[in-house]
Chain A
Amino acid sequence: MMTNLFSIFDPSTNLMNLPMNWISTILGLLFIPYSFWLIPNRHFIMWNFISKKLHNEFKTLLKNNYFNGSTFIFISLFFFIFFNNFLGLFPYIFTSTSHLTMSLSLSMPLWLSFMLYGWIKNTNHMFIHMIPQGTPYILMPFMVIIETISNIIRPGTLAVRLTANMIAGHLLMTLLSKTGTNMSFYMIIILIFIQIMLMILESAVAIIQSYVITILSTLYYSEVN
C-alpha cells in the first residue's frame, strides 16, 4: 500500500519478517553467460565485448598502476551496479541501488581502502597530490583545505549520486504512472508515449551511472599510487 510516494522504495516483500526483496540484488548473476561449448554463442560474445572494452578503458586510465587483474574489481562493480539499476526499471523488481545502504556499502570500503593505503604507504605522494601543478603560492593553503574536503566527501558523492539518480528516475516514473489509474483511454496512449521516452532516458541513466561510478573509482585508485 502506498502511504506516500517514497514508499515505493520500501522493502516490502517479507518472509517471516525477513525482507526478501534484497534478493533482487543477486538477480544480475543469472545474466552472466555460461561457456559450455568451445564455440561461443551471441550472449557470450556480447559479454566479452563489453568486458574487453571496459578493461581497455580502465587499463588506459590506470597507466603505471596497472597490474595483471587490477581491472577485475572495477568491471565486476560495473556489471553489478548496471544490472541492479537496469533490472529495477522493470515492474515489480526492487531497485536495491536506490538505497543509500547499498551504494554506501559499495563506495565507502573502496574509498577507505584507497585512502588508508595511500596515506600509510605513500604519504608524501598523497600530500603532493593535494595541490595541483601551477597554483600560485598564495592559494596553496586554501587549495589544501578544498582538496581535503573534496577527498573526504568522495564516498558520499559516489553513493549519493547513484542513489539520487535512481530515486529520481523511479519517482518520476511512478508519478507519471499513478495518473494513469484515473485516465480515459485516449489519454493513456499519450501517457504511454511519454513514459516510453522516460523509460529510454532511465535506461541510459542506469548504464551511465554505473559507468560513472566505476570510472571514478578507477581514478581514485590511480591517484593513490
Chain B
Amino acid sequence: MALTHRSSNLLKPLSAAVLRRTFSTDTITVETSVPFTSHNCSPPPRTVETTPAEMMSFFRDMATMRRMEIAADSLYKAKLIRGFCHLYDGQEAVAIGMEAAITSKDCIITAYRDHCLFLARGGTLVETFAELMGRKDGCSKGKGGSMHFYKKESGFYGGHGIVGAQVPLGCGLAFAQKYSKEEHVTFAMYGDGAANQGQLFEALNMAALWDLPAILVCENNHYGMGTAEWRAAKSYAYYKRGDYVPGLKVDGMDAFAVKQACKFAKEHALKNGPIILEMDTYRYHGHSMSDPGSTYRKRDEVTGVRQERDPLERIRKLILSHDLATEKELKDTEKEIRKEVDEAIAKAKESPMPDPSELFDNVYVKGFGVEVFGADRKEVKSVLP
C-alpha cells in the first residue's frame, strides 16, 4: 500500500482510468487456495476479508515488484549491476501479504533476497536501482549493494549476506521490543537453506525461553541454491522443526493466505512468544544471477508453477472475477508500471558514483573528540558526553 503511494511520485499524469477510480471499501471474502496446516496450534480460518482497494493495491505492488526484478535481470546482464544479485520474482506474495498484515513499527529482517521486501517496506524504486548500481543515491549510499538494503524508519533491518546470521539478529530485535515493552513483533525471515543453521535453533530456543515476540518465517522455495530441500534436510517440514514452538504452513503464492497467517502470527507472538511460519513459495530465477536455475530443476517444473500458482495471475483472476477492473485496465496498469520502472532506472543512472573521499565515512561513529586514523592527531581529550 505504501508502495502505491510512493511510486505515484514518479508518474507523469496519465489518463489511465484505473488510477482515478476510487475503490470501495466494501469487504470481499476470499478463500485461500489451500487450508493452513499447523503444528502445535490451531490454524486460522481459510476465509480472508479484503477490500477492492486492497486487491488492486496488491496487484499493483506485485506487478511493480515483478517488473523491478525483471529489470534488475536486464541491468545485471548489461553489467550495470555487479556482484551478487538475488531475485525475488515468484515470491512477491510473501512480501505483499506480510506488509498488509503489519505496521511500520513491526520489524522485518531478512537475508539477501531483499529487494522486494525493501520496496514493500516503503523503499522507492530509485533508491533500489541506485543501490544496485552502486550509486550515491542508493539506500545504503552505494556501499551496501544488493544484499544490504536497509530502511530504519520503516523497520526494515536488512539485507544480510551470511546465511542464517539474520535470525539471531531478528531475535535481538524482538528482545528490544520486549525490553521496551512495545506491542510490536519482529518477522525474521530465512530460507529453506538457512533452516539447517544451528544459530537458528539457538535463537529459537532463546526466543521461546523468554517469550520474545519473534516470528520466524521460512520462505521455502524448495532449493537452497542448487540443493533441493529433501537433499539437505532430514525433515523438510520446516514448520514442524520448532518442536515446542508452534508452526503454520502457508501457501506462499497466495497473498491473502500470507496476510492471514501473518496477522494470526502477530497476535500469537504478542501473547505466547515465537511461532514459525513456513511459506511454500517458488522462485523463477535461479538462486542468483550467476545461477541459471535449470541444472537442478526441470524447465517444466518452473513453467508449471508459473502457470498454476503465479501470485500475480492469481490476483488478476480474482480481480477479474470480482469485476473490479477489466482486462485492458490491468494491462494498462502493467504498462504504466513498466514505464515507472524505466524512469526510475533512468533517474538512478543519473546518480553519481560515490566519491573516493567517502571511503572512510561511516566506518566508525565519531566520538570522544579524537580522530581515529593516523599519527597526526593534534589533541587527545576525553569528554563526558
A, B: real partners: no
Q: A residues near B, CB below 8 A?
A: none
